[in-house]
Structure 1
Amino acid sequence: MLKLKNVTKRFGKRTILDKLNLTVEKGEILCIVGESGGGKTTLLRCISGLERIDAGEIYIDDEVFDPSIQTNDSVIGVVFQDYNLFPHLSVTENITLAPMMVLKKGANEAKQLAQELLIKLSLSDKGDLYPYQLSGGQKQRVAIARALAMQPKILCYDEPTSALDPNLSKTVKEIILSLKEAGMTQIIVTHDWKFADEIADHVLKVEPLKD
């Protein structure tokens, strides 16, 4: 379970999040929607520990989550909007790097997990390719595989369908729902209300705070 209690985030004198309270149960999908500048991505970055909150607390399984002292990627994984794949590494190397460096997995174990994830995401023949050789949809799935390789409790996505055509958006939807069936808690920032309605257990609308 993820719980936010009175979470506040400011940039300078501007308050983005003001005493936000939120609970997401294990295995649920929360979609965060709203207009640009409303704080969707900031909220996601605060949940994942990429931004420090100014006040309040974040709990995971009833324990305070402090990314400054915890191995962040092994608790909360993030699939970024621009994928953030390393261009000089193959698909398999992109997936195995963090498990080997952070989780101290052996090379064989990390490669076996990567292959299992690639099979699951219909990328079994892409392991030796480099990001520039992949389509946008394939890059998206590699980014999901890389996040899953850290075996996180919660998986976050920033606009996972923004650059994809309808067919590829459907594929991402199917992946997200299959992960839900496996018990993965997921938090998704999206501008696509229809996509949110189709996959979410709960939808949170955020709006810019008035000064």
Structure 2
Amino acid sequence: MLELKQITKKFDGKVILDGVDLTVADGQILTIVGPSGAGKTTLLRCISGLTPVDGGKFFLDGQAFDPATNRDNDAVIGVVFQDFQLFPNLTVLQNVTLAPTMMLKKDIKSVNQEAQTLLERLNLGGKADLYPYELSGGQKQRVAIVRALAMHPKLLCYDEPTSALDPDLRHEVEQIILNLKQQGMTQIVVTHDMPFAETIADQMLRVEPKQA
């Protein structure tokens, strides 16, 4: 279970997050919705440790936890970025296996086997040797999810996972997220897409811009 207590964040003196309290139960899906500039992505970045907070505390399974300083954070909280952030000079398989071998020091043979299994599970069989430029937007999205899953995170975060996808691919991502829930994955999804958010959410957090 992830808990946020009184999380605050400012940029250039402007309050973006003001005392956010939040609990995400294991295996549940939280969607974070709201207009542009309300702080959705900032909150996600704080949870994932990409942006340090100015105040408040995080607790993971009841233990105090600082995402911004935890050295093993990639193995605790995975992130699927809006622009995928795949390495263009690496193949799909290399993109997936880089972090487990470099950061978790796992054996390359076992990492490759697991990566192939994950690729098959997300309908990417036969794509391991392709480069990102050879993939569709939906395929890049799935590779980004596989790359995050390869680190065995306790929690998986998504930043606008359907923003660049057509309706069919949007439904595909929806099914992937719901299937991961069935497998016990805790997930947090930032999205502008209200129908998508309502379909997948166990709970929904609406954020609004702070008034000047």
State the SS of the aligned residue for 2:89. Answer: coil
Distance 1:86 1:54 in 2: 31
Give the equivalent residue in structure 2 for 1:197: 198
TM-score (norm 2): 0.98
Which one-letter code corresponds to 1:100 in the other structure?
T
State the SS of the aligned residue for 2:84. Answer: coil
Distance 2:194 2:177 in 1: 16
Give the equivalent residue in structure 2 for 1:70: 71
Q: Mind listing any 5+ residue stretches in structure 2 that lack a counterpart?
A: none
Distance 1:153 1:139 in 2: 22
Which one-letter code corresponds to 1:157 in the other structure?
Y
State the SS of the aligned residue for 2:189. Answer: strand
State the SS of the aligned residue for 1:142. Answer: helix
Distance 2:112 2:40 in 1: 34
Among all aligned residue pairs of Structure 1 and Structure 2, give the percentage whose two residues are the same amino acid. Answer: 62
CA deviation after TM superposition for structure 1 residue 31, in Å: 0.3
Give the equivalent residue in structure 1 for 2:92: 91
Give the equivalent residue in structure 2 for 1:24: 24
Alignment of 1:71-150 (within 5 A): 71-150=72-151
Give the equivalent residue in structure 1 for 2:10: 10
Distance 1:10 1:58 in 2: 17
Give the equivalent residue in structure 2 for 1:58: 58
Distance 1:90 1:207 in 2: 40
CA deviation after TM superposition for structure 1 residue 69, in Å: 3.3
The number of aligned residues is 211
Give the equivalent residue in structure 2 for 1:37: 37
Distance 1:110 1:59 in 2: 30
CA deviation after TM superposition for structure 1 residue 29, in Å: 0.3
Distance 2:123 2:39 in 1: 34
Which one-letter code corresponds to 1:170 in the other structure?
H
CA deviation after TM superposition for structure 1 residue 205, in Å: 0.6
1:10-57 Cα offsets, whole Å, 9 max, x none, are 112100001110000000000000000000000000000000000000
Distance 1:142 1:54 in 2: 33
State the SS of the aligned residue for 2:192. Answer: coil
State the SS of the aligned residue for 1:110. Answer: helix
CA deviation after TM superposition for structure 1 residue 100, in Å: 0.2
Runs of 4+ with >3 A deviation: none
Distance 2:13 2:128 in 1: 47
Distance 1:185 1:65 in 2: 17
Distance 2:99 2:65 in 1: 20
Distance 2:40 2:78 in 1: 17
TM-score (norm 1): 0.99
Distance 1:13 1:24 in 2: 29
Give the equivalent residue in structure 1 for 2:46: 46
Distance 1:116 1:92 in 2: 11
Alignment of 1:166-205 (within 5 A): 166-205=167-206
Q: Mind listing any 5+ residue stretches in structure 1 that lack a counterpart?
A: none
Distance 2:8 2:47 in 1: 12
CA deviation after TM superposition for structure 1 residue 70, in Å: 3.0
State the SS of the aligned residue for 1:146. Answer: helix
State the SS of the aligned residue for 2:156. Answer: strand
**Which sits farther off after the overlay, 2-11 or 68-77?**
68-77
**Which sits farther off after the overlay, 59-68 or 151-160?**
59-68
